[in-house]
């Protein structure tokens, strides 16, 4: 697949305690904003944006990120990813991330909103050296439809592959096809409309962190369900089902704070966008 609607490449390195880009390239309908340093930690934040306002029929996007030893970066989006109807061909996004030992990368996009007749596929491929840290979240939200139906999109398919020292350690596959599945039933959305996920991988992972996350989530009083478990490699996977984006965002943000304080020795920087 070479005919990209937009592509982006970003190579990062540590220079005297500050993470900087040694190479930045983007073209088409995919861009990266100037680097932001929220404090004196040296960690950099980049906002990714689609100037077209949303993903349309047949759109193809590719992102390549590399982080050298000692670099620390947060990647996020400027706003929600909106996928509109795709009558001819699905919209597709691919991200390839390479993390050297001692690097720290957070990929925290805003929610994905799939509107009526939307067909969207996404693939994240992460290659990590032992000693690197990776944190990823996503939220799936059904878009408005004229009929008022909650699940009017055609397909949402998200695949995440994480390779740990060259070996596949995580294969996460979400595929929602409302017309073919009992989408509100057991094993799917189970009466909820929104789905949130978090995957974190680090040598620093331990059961003390897992217990702290579980207890924090258990204390939430909103209407939601969740599951959290260790991965086959050092790290964990979290799923949250709810009926509001704000509920999932709040829980993920609280998890992010606990993780950042333990693995990064400081609270996360604010990603205010409004």
pLDDT at 2: 64
Q: What is the mean pLDDT of residues 52-69?
A: 94
Whether 141 shows a pLDDT value over 80: the answer reads: yes
Q: Does some domain include residue 44?
A: yes
Q: Does some domain include residue 52?
A: yes
Q: Does some domain include residue 116?
A: yes
Tell me the C-alpha to C-alpha distance, in Å, between residue 189 and each of 38, 236, 252. Answer: 37, 21, 18
Q: What is the mean pLDDT of residues 45-49?
A: 95
pLDDT at 242: 97
Q: What is the mean pLDDT of residues 237-266?
A: 95
pLDDT grade, residue 168 (50/70/90)?
very high
pTM over 0.85: yes
Q: Does some domain include residue 273?
A: no
Average model confidence (pLDDT) for the chain?
Answer: 94
Q: Does some domain include residue 274?
A: no
Q: Does some domain include residue 190?
A: yes
Counting the structural domains of the chain, the total is 1
pLDDT at 274: 46
Q: Does some domain include residue 1?
A: no
Whether 183 shows a pLDDT value over 60: the answer reads: yes
Q: Are 98 and 135 in contact (CB under 8 A)?
A: no
Q: What is the dihedral of CA 68, 69, 71, 73, to 10 degrees?
A: 70
Look up the domain containing 116 and give its range.
6-263
Q: Does some domain include residue 181?
A: yes
**Helical pair 207-218 and 245-263, crossing angle rounded to 10 deg:** 150
pLDDT at 273: 54
The two counts, helices (H) then strands (E), for the chain are 2, 17
Tell me the C-alpha to C-alpha distance, in Å, between residue 200 and each of 24, 43, 103, 187. Answer: 26, 18, 14, 23
């Amino acid at each position: 697949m070479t005919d990209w609607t937009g592509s982006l490449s970003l190579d990062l390195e540590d220079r005297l305690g500050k993470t900087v880009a040694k190479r930045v390239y983007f073209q088409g309908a995919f861009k990266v904003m100037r680097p932001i340093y929220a404090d004196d930690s040296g960690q950099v934040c980049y906002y990714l944006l689609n100037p077209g306002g949303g993903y349309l029929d047949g759109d193809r996007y590719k992102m390549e990120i590399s982080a050298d030893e000692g670099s620390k970066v947060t990647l996020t989006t400027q706003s929600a990813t909106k996928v509109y109807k795709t009558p001819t061909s699905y919209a597709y996004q691919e991200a390839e991330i390479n993390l050297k030992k001692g690097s720290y990368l957070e990929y925290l996009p805003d929610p994905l909103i799939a509107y009526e007749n939307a067909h969207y596929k996404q693939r994240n491929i992460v290659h990590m050296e032992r000693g690197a840290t990776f944190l990823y979240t996503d939220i799936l939200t059904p878009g408005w439809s004229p009929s008022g139906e909650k699940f009017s999109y055609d397909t949402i398919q998200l695949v995440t592959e994480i390779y740990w020292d060259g070996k596949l350690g995580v294969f996460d596959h979400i595929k929602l096809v409302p017309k073919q599945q009992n989408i509100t039933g057991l094993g799917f959305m189970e009466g909820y409309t929104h789905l949130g996920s978090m995957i974190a991988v680090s040598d620093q992972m331990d059961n003390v962190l897992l217990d702290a996350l579980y207890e924090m989530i258990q204390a939430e009083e909103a209407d939601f369900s969740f599951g959290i478990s260790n991965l086959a490699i050092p790290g964990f996977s979290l799923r949250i089902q709810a009926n509001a984006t704000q509920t999932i965002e709040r829980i993920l943000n609280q998890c992010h704070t606990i993780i950042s304080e333990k693995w990064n020795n400081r609270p996360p920087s604010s990603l205010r966008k409004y």
